[in-house]
Structures are given as C-alpha cells and as structure tokens.
C-alpha cells in the first residue's frame, strides 16, 4: 500500500509541477470562470434576488470550467505518446489513475477558491453562515466530479473527437452529483441549518465511494484499449 500511494503521489506531483510551469489549465479555467460570473451579473434581472439562484450559477460555472481543464489533463501524454511510457513503467494502473485524479482535484479546488469570492463580490453572497458544511458539500461534489472526469478524460484523449467527446460522456453521469451539490449549496447560502443538507452530504459521499471503486478499476481497461 505504501508503494501504491508513493506511485500515486509521484504521478500527481509530476502533473502539478508541469502545471505550475505552464499555468495553462489553471489560468484558462480561472479566466473562464470569472467571465461566466461577469456574464451572469449583467444578464440577471435586477428584480431577481441572486441569492435565490446562486447555488445553480456557481455549480454551472465550476462544471464547465472543470470540464475545460479536464480536456487538457491527458493532452501532454496524448501528444507525445508519454502515456505509453507510464504504462510500461512498474506503476499500478490504479496508482496512475489516483495520481492524475489528485492533480486534477488540486487544480479545480484552486479554481473554486477564485469562483466563490468572485460570486460573493458580484452578487453580495455571504459564505460565513455555515462554512464547514459548505466546504464539505463543495469538497465531496468536487471529488466525485474529478473521479468521473479523470476517467472520461483518459477515454476521450485518444479518440478523434477528443475534447468534444468529453462533455457528452461526462455530463449525463455527473448530473446526480451536480443536482445534490447545487441543492445543498443553495440551502446553505440562504441560511438554512447544516442539518438540512446532511442527506445530500451522505448521498455525495456514497457517489464518491462508488466512483472511486468503479473508476479505479475501469481505468486500467480504458488505457489498455
């Protein structure tokens, strides 16, 4: 197990080092998220209270910004055939998947640290009511998003359609996670107690566990194909 985790950490560190050098994904995702928030701020009818729909707007932004970044998560390996080298190395397929997942998770969480303050600024949202519960909902939903997203990014990276295929495969399966995450986020933003979102937290945790087991197992078959 220690060797498995060490291999996963090495893969994640490699991806994060490459991202910190180029900042290609995190900059494009951050700029995209801010632009979406700006569009929402101008498009929203002033008579509509933004707090009442902020949860949906935030998760739409996170979903599309995250999908934009996922499309590039296997780009370097695909362009330079580096994935074949990784597959030939003595690294378990599950460790390779978890390493790619961890790197994607860190990048998307970094973008979310931009998204939430931007929405707070544009729409006057207050996240101080139940910060622990909100962080739990966002964290669990993002983990599920990245588990599925990493698997389907690997699947679409070696196809002719590439980035075009990724959202078509990913979004239908991700819909339950987004629904529960947006609903729970919305309840917390309007001041509901954390106890009201505990059922959503449990469902998100269950989805995360299911996605972790299935995606880790399926990744080896996907990259072999």
Map out the domains of the chain as residue ranges: 2-224
Check whether 180 has a pLDDT greater than 90: yes
Task: Name the residue with higher pLDDT: 174 or 85.
Answer: 174
Confidence of residue 35 (pLDDT cuts 50, 70, 90): very high
pLDDT of 225 > 60? The answer is: no
Where residue 46 falls (left for φ over 0; alpha for ψ -120 to 50; beta otherwise) is alpha
Which ranges constitute the DSSP H helices of the chain?
A: 2-22, 24-43, 54-70, 75-80, 82-88, 93-123, 131-157, 165-189, 198-224
CA distances to 3, 12, 212 from 21, in Å? 27, 14, 29
The confidence score (pLDDT) of residue 179 equals 93
Provide the pLDDT for residue 142: 96
Which pair of tokens denotes residue 44? Answer: 């929203």
Provide the Cα torsion 182, 70, 88, 160; round to 10°. Answer: 120
């Amino acid at each position: 197990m220690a060797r498995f985790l060490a291999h996963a950490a090495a893969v994640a560190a490699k991806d994060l080092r490459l991202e910190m050098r180029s900042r290609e994904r995190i900059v494009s995702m951050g700029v995209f998220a801010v632009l979406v928030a700006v569009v929402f701020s101008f498009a929203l009818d002033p008579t509509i209270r933004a707090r009442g729909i902020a949860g949906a707007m935030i998760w739409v932004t996170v979903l599309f910004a995250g999908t934009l970044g996922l499309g590039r998560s296997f780009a370097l390996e695909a362009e330079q055939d580096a994935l074949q080298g990784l597959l030939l190395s003595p690294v378990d397929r599950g460790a390779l998947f978890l390493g790619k997942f961890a790197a994607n998770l860190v990048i998307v969480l970094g973008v979310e640290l931009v998204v939430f303050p931007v929405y707070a600024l544009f729409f006057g949202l207050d996240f101080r009511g139940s910060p622990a519960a909100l962080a739990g909902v966002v964290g669990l939903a993002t983990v599920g998003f990245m588990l599925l997203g990493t698997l389907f990014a690997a699947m679409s990276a070696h196809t002719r359609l590439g980035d075009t295929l990724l959202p078509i495969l990913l979004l239908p399966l991700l819909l339950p996670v987004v629904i529960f995450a947006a609903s729970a986020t919305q309840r917390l933003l309007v001041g509901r107690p954390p106890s009201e979102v505990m059922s959503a937290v449990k469902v998100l945790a269950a989805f995360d566990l299911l996605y972790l087991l299935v995606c880790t197992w399926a990744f080896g078959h996907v990259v072999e194909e």
